[in-house]
Structure 1
Amino acid sequence: MIAGGRRKRRLAGAMIMAPALFLVGCDSNTAGGYSPSIVAVVNGSPITRKDMCTAMMVKGGSCKVFGGNEDLGRAIVEELVERRLILQRSRIMGGFIEEDRVRAFVRMMTEQYGSPEELDKILREEEIDIAEWKKALRETLEIEQMLDREVYSRIKIGAEEVSRVYRENPKRYRIGRRWRVRQIMVGSEEEAKRLRGRIVDGVPFSRLARQASHGPERQKGGDMGLFTEGQFPERVEKVIRDLKEGEISGVVQTSSGFHLFQVTETRSGGMQPFRAVREEIRSELLAKKSRKNLKRWLAGLKEKSEIRYYWRNSNDRAAG
């Protein structure tokens, strides 16, 4: 388990928005005598349209988005089914969340709405009790903890595995030729030619860039930074590619104006050093294995559970 990955997985792992992996039970709108507010039942525990609203609020959205959006409604129901399964598993395993963590998470999520007053206003508009909203946040932390324990902590990424990805994908980790470039950009060809003449006569390019350029990098002496092959428009890149270090281009016209370019540094392309991409590869492998293991783990929970879906109910506006 890479510690830095846990924070990034918080909402992605806890508020799962994945396609249905397995549909267990029947698709019925009348079975069991459940009310029209019920959208699914997981091992006897009902999920309601109000739960759909609360889920959207926890994600920073609004239940108004459900109006006529059948795909979104189904996705949220499936997400809530998966959340309920994970929470049921957590309760069986004796999951516990410290109050300090809950308070900190509530505070962080409240800040996303600007202020407690603004949050209260939105909750009232959505007819959601703040206690229910806080309960959903607590459950999100419970889910995160459960997934770390049952799924993510069991993932191992070996050094040889990382090295093999690097060796087997040379094109992926190759970088093209790079240049550090200065530019002067002005509004007329005549002005650009006049400035080029002064540079040829010995006036430093950087001084004239500060004095005359209209470009955003004028205060840095026209320094645009490092660019890799393919980042410039093709016509401009051809000019830059043919310049030697310290050489000044002719006047180049673009839709932005008239330019003079100077290459101050050239770096040849080639494979990036393994040490430079090692953590990137490790993170990608971790994410890939996390998705695969989570899918398999959830499928196992679903196979052992009784789940009923009431899709027609989820298509109504998710309120009450």
Structure 2
Amino acid sequence: MLRNYIDFDQWKEQLRKKLLEKKIIEQVTAGMVLPDHAAILHYYETHTDAFTTKRQVKFRQIVTSDLRTAKNLQNRLRKGEDFETVARQGSRAPEAKNGGLVGWVEKGQLEKAMDRALFSLKPGQVSPIIHSPYGYHIFQVLASRPAGVRPLLEVTKEIEENLSLTNRRAFLAGWLKKRRKHVKVHIDSKIFQLLEQ
């Protein structure tokens, strides 16, 4: 078990090399220009499948382990209590502390009964009690998005980061290739044989 550990001096040397490598990469790529609008637009238009989404809903939920508790919580909601408050007090789901807020999900992402119930509701509506393998659920849909392609404005930053990373990797690969041409490398096959033993 201890053979996987390295001593402090080895660790320090590895850290020094990593930091040096990071500094070199930062210096070498410092002058790189960010992708322009034309490059971003071209990427967007040629990769629409990457930005296509299914129908989505943003929702809150209350989850209980038994039907009786779920019915009691449902009655509180029918009497006008706030969904967020009831979820905080009665749900056993991890998101209970956030008022039951789950966030956005795409159609087909959840268990079938849950998916069917959620995507049949309009924003503001509360579901009847739904049974699933996870317990008894009550959902409240907060918002909905139709299926479609996400707008360019929404994905511009994501595309810019993706193109920058791709350009940076290509630039570094070229830079390293040039450097290797000027460096003489000697491979000692005896060392490789020792390592294979």
The structure, 1 or 2, with the larger RCO (C-alpha pairs under 8 Å, 6+ apart) is: 1
CA drift at 1:143: 4.0
Letter in structure 1 aligned against 2:166: K
Select between 235-244 and 152-161 the one with higher mean Cα deviation: 152-161
1:268 aligns with 2:146: yes
Q: C-alpha separation between the residues in 2 aligned to 1:267 and 1:315? A: 60
Which residue pairs with 2:69 in the alignment?
Answer: 191
Partner of 2:179: 301
For the pair 1:257 / 2:141, whether they are aligned, the reply is: no
Q: Does 1:226 align with 2:111?
A: no
Question: Could you tell me which residue of structure 2 aligns to residue 15 of structure 1?
Answer: none
Partner of 1:309, secondary structure, is coil
Identify the residue that residue 99 of structure 1 maps to in structure 2: none
Partner of 2:56: 178
Query: What secondary structure does 1:305 align onto?
Result: coil
Amino acid aligned to 1:301: R
The 3 A distance-change label for structure 1 pair 214 and 140 is closer
Aligned AA for 1:123? D
Match of 2:166 in 1: 288
Match of 2:37 in 1: 159
CA distance, structure 2, for counterparts of residue 314 and residue 193 of structure 1: 69
Give the whole-Å Cα distance in 1 for the aligned partners of 2:164 and 2:71: 54
User: 7, 25, 29: which is aligned to 1:123?
Assistant: 7
Secondary structure of residue in 2 paired with 1:245? coil
CA distance in structure 1 between the aligned counterparts of 2:26 and 2:153, rounded to whole angstroms? 28
Letter in 1 for 2:191: N
**How many residues in Structure 1 have an aligned counterpart in Structure 2?**
195
Task: Note the residue ranges of structure 1 that are not aligned, 5 or more in a row.
Answer: 1-62, 66-120, 125-129
Distance 1:208 1:179 in 2: 21
Q: 1:168 aligns with which of 46, 61, 75?
A: 46
Describe the shift of the 1:142–1:191 C-alpha distance in structure 2 as closer, same or farther (beyond 3 A). closer
- Structure 1's 146 and 225: CA in aligned 2 closer, same or farther, altered over 3 A? closer
Question: One-letter code of the match for 1:296?
Answer: G
Q: Residue by residue, what CA displacement relative to the aligned partner does 1:28-63 show, whole Å, maximum 9, x if unpaired? A: xxxxxxxxxxxxxxxxxxxxxxxxxxxxxxxxxxx9
CA distance in 2, matches of 1:194, 1:145: 61
Name the counterpart of 2:188.
Answer: 310
Q: Is the 8 A contact 2:113 2:131 kept in 1?
A: no
Q: Match for 2:185: what amino acid? A: I
1:239 aligned residue (117, 142, 145) = 117
TM (norm. structure 2) is 0.77
Deviation at 1:312, TM superposition (A): 4.6
Q: CA RMSD in A?
A: 3.3
Q: TM-score, normalised by structure 1?
A: 0.51
Gaps of 5+ in 2: none
Q: Which amino acid aligns with 2:164?
A: L
Change (3 A) 1:246 1:145: closer
The alpha-carbon deviation at position 296 of structure 1 amounts to 2.5
Among all aligned residue pairs of Structure 1 and Structure 2, give the percentage whose two residues are the same amino acid: 25
